[in-house]
Amino acid sequence: RDRRADYEAAAQRRAAVADMARKADEALRAAEDRP
Protein backbone atom coordinates (compact mmCIF):
# COMPACT_ATOMS: atom_id res chain seq x y z
CA ARG A 1 0.00 0.00 0.00
CA ASP A 2 1.12 3.55 -0.53
CA ARG A 3 1.79 6.00 2.23
CA ARG A 4 -1.48 7.85 1.68
CA ALA A 5 -3.53 4.68 2.20
CA ASP A 6 -1.63 4.00 5.42
CA TYR A 7 -2.20 7.60 6.55
CA GLU A 8 -5.93 7.43 5.83
CA ALA A 9 -6.27 4.07 7.60
CA ALA A 10 -4.46 5.47 10.65
CA ALA A 11 -6.72 8.52 10.63
CA GLN A 12 -9.78 6.29 10.55
CA ARG A 13 -8.43 4.24 13.46
CA ARG A 14 -7.79 7.41 15.46
CA ALA A 15 -11.31 8.64 14.72
CA ALA A 16 -12.79 5.31 15.83
CA VAL A 17 -10.74 5.31 19.04
CA ALA A 18 -11.76 8.90 19.78
CA ASP A 19 -15.42 7.99 19.20
CA MET A 20 -15.16 5.00 21.55
CA ALA A 21 -13.46 7.15 24.19
CA ARG A 22 -16.19 9.78 23.88
CA LYS A 23 -18.92 7.16 24.25
CA ALA A 24 -17.18 5.61 27.26
CA ASP A 25 -16.82 9.07 28.83
CA GLU A 26 -20.52 9.75 28.29
CA ALA A 27 -21.43 6.36 29.79
CA LEU A 28 -19.28 7.03 32.85
CA ARG A 29 -20.84 10.46 33.31
CA ALA A 30 -24.34 8.98 32.95
CA ALA A 31 -23.48 6.36 35.60
CA GLU A 32 -22.26 9.07 37.97
CA ASP A 33 -25.56 10.93 37.60
CA ARG A 34 -27.49 7.97 38.98
CA PRO A 35 -27.95 7.74 42.76
Q: What is the mean pLDDT of each run of 10 residues along the chain (35 residues)?
A: 94 99 96 83
What whole-number distance in Å separates Cα of residue 33 and Cα of residue 10? 35
Q: How many distinct structural domains can be found in the chain?
A: 1
CA 24 to mean position of chain CA atoms: 9
What whole-number distance in Å separates Cα of residue 23 and Cα of residue 35? 21
Residue 21: predicted pLDDT: 98
**Domain range enclosing 13:** 1-35
What whole-number distance in Å separates Cα of residue 11 and Cα of residue 3? 12
pTM over cut 0.75:
no
Residue 34: predicted pLDDT: 76
Residue 35: predicted pLDDT: 72
